[in-house]
Amino acid sequence: MNLLLLSQYILLGSLAVFAIATIRIATRKTIAMGLVGLSGLSIAVATILILVQNIYNIGFCRDIAFALVILGPVGTIAFSKVLRG
């Protein structure tokens, strides 16, 4: 097995643990912690999709990851403006 492929699988595992941790953060009682958790989760999922695209050569994963990276902060900013009043 290639060392690069092995390191990508290890990174996938650690990102899965990070995604579970951000889900736990997102389920806290405050709205701010929910926004932080969802932002972290979108970053984790985008990185996982980029790795899946590199390992399995699936082209549309990169496009979905770019959309998540762009729309994540936009949604956070819009939601904070709505809460602000």
- pLDDT tens string 16-47: 999 999 999 989 888 888 888 888 999 999 99
- 54: pLDDT strictly greater than 80: yes
Residue pair 44/15 in contact (Cβ under 8 Å)? The answer is yes
What does the block give as tokens for 15? Answer: 């990102």
By the 10 Å C-beta count (0-12 exposed, 13-18 middle, 19+ buried), 26 is classed as middle
What does the block give as tokens for 77? Answer: 């900013």
Instruction: Give the whole-angstrom CA distance, residue 13 versus residue 33.
Output: 24
Residue pair 6/18 in contact (Cβ under 8 Å)? The answer is no
Q: Give mean pLDDT, residues 56-60.
A: 90
Q: What is the pLDDT of residue 9?
A: 92
10 pLDDT tier (thresholds 50, 70, 90): very high
